[in-house]
Amino acid sequence: TVTSEFTQGLPKAELHLHIEGTLEPQLKLKLAQRNHVDIGQKTIEDVQKTYDYHDLASFLAVYYPAMNVLQHEEDFYDLAWAYLQRAAANNVRHVEIFFDPQAHTSRGIPFATVINGLHQAVVDARALNVDAALIMCFLRDFSKESARQTLAQAMQYRDKIIGIGLDSDEHNNPPLKFARQFEDAAAAGLHLTTHCDIDQKDSIEHIRQALEIMDVERLDHGTNIVEDPDLVALAAQRKIGLTACPLSNSFVSPDMKGKEITELLKAGVQISINSDDPAYFKGYISDNYYAVAQKYQLTQAQIIQLAKNSFNAAWISDQQKQLYL
């Protein structure tokens, strides 16, 4: 059987992790005080009482306002450094970290402040034996024009970013809305992924657009793909990485999508386990492995396969993969 010691000790890569979603209540309060930002909460219990969500929209309504405490470069550094220490404790050897520049530039924080703070933590993570990289996400509920400007800003920091993604509210915001930005990013050598959140109105259509038209290399969540066997076959054949997040799923739906995860493993899809927004969904990556293993009685062999998939779906060289596999 799979123990929590086993899931913790297993070397793994984390491919679906929003750095803003690692803001723990304690750090939130500390930064609020340091930056004189009134978030309307004074104690950890106050903060936790606001963590009341049942779907993507109600989660995002709690998530974005909390980011006001992030003001200076050192705040972004402290946020990322706190996560990277936890990653090391979880035996995460490689992590590709999402960040949402528009959630900060839209409230007056310069792009440079965000990326320089995060990047310094990425550099310092080498001392923790954690190999880290940054993926810039567009907020899909913002305009195409805003995405265009954001990509232009990112190009000034091209060497600090390995890829782009799409997150935030998926409702009526299909991947194709950003086809132009994805093409431009691919032309600049950036890797491509997009959230296809679970049980969205047009899940299958969004997955189809992402795979057949936009040539993404991964799907974040994406487990609704099981509804279309042809797309499952395509994902397996193209070695598309799917980044499932069991504990996150359990907040916005009645289950952790364990049946889908098992089915996709059987179909040979490169599906992995990740933590999404661990400070908000009660668990870091090892907790996610353990929770899904317990609830769906996954075998040790299946857990090992999920961890292998995490390295195989990572945006690292084959040579680097050999170090981990």
The item of Zn ion, ligand HPA, none sharing an interface with residue 14, based on CB under 5 to 8 Å by kind, is none
Give residues 50-79 in contact with ligand HPA (rule: CB under 6 A): 56
Distance CA(42)–CA(313), nearest Å, equals 41
How long is the chain? 325
Q: Are 22 and 131 in contact (CB under 8 A)?
A: no
To the nearest 10°, the Cα dihedral for 308, 99, 39, 141?
-110
Which H or E run contains 210? none
* Residue from 277, 313, 314, 324 in contact with ligand HPA (CB under 6 A): 277
Bridge partner list, 323: none
Q: Is 14 near ligand HPA (CB under 6 A)?
A: no
When the beta carbons of 32 and 244 are compared against Zn ion, the nearer one is 244
Q: Is 96 near ligand HPA (CB under 6 A)?
A: no
When the beta carbons of 219 and 232 are compared against Zn ion, the nearer one is 219
Q: Are 101 and 115 in contact (CB under 8 A)?
A: yes
Beta strands in 128-201 (DSSP E): 131-139, 163-167, 191-196
The item of Zn ion, ligand HPA, none sharing an interface with residue 217, based on CB under 5 to 8 Å by kind, is none
Distance CA(59)–CA(87), nearest Å, equals 23
Q: Is 14 near Zn ion (CB under 5 A)?
A: no
Q: Are 261 and 223 in contact (CB under 8 A)?
A: yes
When the beta carbons of 274 and 312 are compared against ligand HPA, the nearer one is 274
SS3 content of the chain, % helix, strand, coil (to 5): 55, 15, 30
Q: Is 25 near ligand HPA (CB under 6 A)?
A: no
Shortest approach of ligand HPA to residue 23 CB, angstroms?
A: 11
Q: Is 276 annotated as a binding residue?
A: yes
Q: Where are the alpha helices (DSSP H) in the chain?
A: 4-9, 25-34, 44-49, 56-66, 73-89, 102-105, 111-124, 144-155, 179-187, 203-208, 229-237, 246-252, 258-266, 285-296, 300-312, 318-324
Give residues 124-183 in contact with ligand HPA (rule: CB under 6 A): 167-168
When the beta carbons of 78 and 276 are compared against Zn ion, the nearer one is 276
The item of ligand HPA, Zn ion, none sharing an interface with residue 78, based on CB under 5 to 8 Å by kind, is none
The item of Zn ion, ligand HPA, none sharing an interface with residue 131, based on CB under 5 to 8 Å by kind, is none
- Token reading at 96: 């590709």
Distance CA(186)–CA(311), nearest Å, equals 22
Q: Are 230 and 89 in contact (CB under 8 A)?
A: no
* Residue from 7, 21, 153, 200 in contact with ligand HPA (CB under 6 A): 21
- Per-residue buried b or exposed e for 91-127, using 16+ beta carbons within 10 Å of the residue's own CB: bbbbbbbbbbbbbbbeeebebebbbbbbbbbbeebee
The item of Zn ion, ligand HPA, none sharing an interface with residue 197, based on CB under 5 to 8 Å by kind, is ligand HPA
Q: Is 191 annotated as a binding residue?
A: no
Q: Is 197 near Zn ion (CB under 5 A)?
A: no
When the beta carbons of 171 and 321 are compared against ligand HPA, the nearer one is 171
Q: Are 302 and 264 in contact (CB under 8 A)?
A: no
When the beta carbons of 22 and 150 are compared against Zn ion, the nearer one is 22
When the beta carbons of 102 and 113 are compared against ligand HPA, the nearer one is 102
Q: Is 16 annotated as a binding residue?
A: yes
* Residue from 73, 78, 197, 217 in contact with ligand HPA (CB under 6 A): 197
Binding site for Zn(2+): residue ranges? 16, 18, 195, 276
Where on the chain is the footprint of ligand HPA (CB under 6 A)? 18, 21, 56, 167-168, 195, 197, 248, 276-277
Binding site for substrate: residue ranges? 277
